[in-house]
Amino acid sequence: MDDIKISIIIPVFNVSKYIERCLLSVMNQTNTKGIECILVDDKTPDDSIKIAQNLLANYQGNINFRLVEHRENKGLSAARNTGIKKAIGEYVYFLDSDDEITADCMEGLLKLIERYKGIELIQADVLVRGSDFMQRHLELKCDLLPDYTDDKCWIKDSLLTRGFIAETAWNKLIKRTFLLEHDLFFKENIIHEDIHWTFFLAKYVRTMAFSKLSSYVYYINPNTITTNINKVRESNSRWLIIKDMVVYLDDKCVESQKRYILSYYIFSYKYLCHNDKSNDSFVMKQILSKSNLIQSVILNLWYYSPEIFKRNPFFQRRVVNFYTIK
């Protein structure tokens, strides 16, 4: 039990079409020593678990597979949180059950753990199936990245620069004691939990390494939670995320935090415009009126979402009003 280096955490819900592909990718790793895999059954109504159990019944490799069951459906965040609590590995690795990993994924990560003793976070590169746009958005900018860094401000700025390092929980290897020390569990009952989690992850990470291997395979699937969600729930979740991030702004590298919040706010604007206008005022006052770089607001808007800025006169007026907020 003490020899477990990596705990792979796989939430399972309505993935009968994909779970076999996902599990086979884990079973077929080139290095299986020191690996456990925790399947969290989030009360899935389909036969995903039956498919998984049939596969596991014939598995004779070294990976220790465990199944944990929720008594009721609690959502992706809760499933990941359960996995963190049940994990015994030195590191945790989140794998979504409709994705897969390449055969050399664990081997590459284990080498980096050995090379950089005590490393808190390792980010690998990604392959995207189904969208050239998402490939460009999610892939690492390898020529701009060091192999290792302990520059905390650089780490924070990089994690919070959207489109530079993907703001996702999957494809990251995180030291488990680091997660527990900083209470980095996922906020439950919201969507875009990875956006929220990444903001708080960036507050605490002190050491980070990069694997230039494209070892995570991300699939664009038509029936995921992000493509079938209630608009009211989505709007409320987005505001909750924004408010949480604003409340916890700190004094270190604060401008990168503000840019992250602002870019998410702009990205979310079409979903938020039907919400209470007091929310809008809250964001403007708390993020923008406090900034030492008020004049950069317009530049940020043009940089992160020029289309929204150009096409929405109402939003342009809001931006102009930033200057008059007291």
More confident residue, 241 or 289: 241
Question: Is 226 part of any domain?
Answer: no
Percent of the chain with pLDDT over 90: 58
Q: What is the pLDDT of residues 185-203, one digit of tens each?
A: 999 999 899 999 999 999 9
Question: Is 34 part of any domain?
Answer: yes
Does one domain contain both 74 and 116? yes
pLDDT at 325: 39
Mean pLDDT on 78-85: 98
What is the helix (H) or strand (E) element at residue 43, kind and residue range?
Answer: none
Question: Is 161 part of any domain?
Answer: yes
Q: What is the pLDDT of residues 128-160, one digit of tens each?
A: 998 777 777 788 877 789 999 999 999 999 999
- The number of folded domains in the chain is 2
For Cα atoms 62, 7, 85, give the angle at the middle one, nearest 5 degrees: 135
Question: Is 106 part of any domain?
Answer: yes
Question: Is 256 part of any domain?
Answer: yes
CA-CA distances (angstroms) from residue 270 to 235, 274, 291, 311, 314? 9, 8, 24, 12, 11
Res. 165: pLDDT tops 70 = yes
For the chain, the average pLDDT equals 83
Res. 289: pLDDT tops 60 = no
Mean pLDDT on 223-232: 56
Does one domain contain both 162 and 280? no
Q: What is the CATH number of the domain that holds 62?
A: 3.90.550.10
Question: Is 142 part of any domain?
Answer: yes
Which residue segment(s) compose the domain that 270 sits in?
231-324
pLDDT band at 323 (very low <50, low <70, confident <90, very high): very low
Pick the last residue of a domain from 176, 196, 219: 219
Does one domain contain both 212 and 240? no
Does one domain contain both 19 and 139? yes
B/e letters for 200-211, b = 16+ CB within 10 Å, e = fewer, are bbbbbbebbbbb
Res. 62: pLDDT tops 50 = yes
- The structure's pTM equals 0.84
Does one domain contain both 28 and 85? yes
Does one domain contain both 147 and 274? no
Whole-angstrom distance, CA of residue 4 vs CA of residue 113: 12
Question: Is 225 part of any domain?
Answer: no
Q: Which of the 8 DSSP states describes residue 288?
A: I
Does one domain contain both 191 and 249? no
Listed range (9-23, 142-156, 166-180) with the worst mean pLDDT: 142-156
Who's near 52: CB < 8 A, 6+ residues apart? Answer: 12, 19, 20, 23, 39, 67
Pick the last residue of a domain from 185, 219, 253: 219
pLDDT at 279: 54
Pick the last residue of a domain from 176, 191, 219: 219
Question: Is 1 part of any domain?
Answer: no
Q: Where does residue 307 rank: exposed (0-12), middle (13-18), buried (19+ CB within 10 A)? A: exposed
Mean pLDDT on 295-299: 44
Does one domain contain both 203 and 267? no
Listed range (242-251, 270-279, 305-314) with the worst mean pLDDT: 305-314
Beta bridge partner(s), residue 92: 7, 174
pLDDT at 283: 54
Most confident of 155-164, 199-208, 228-237: 199-208
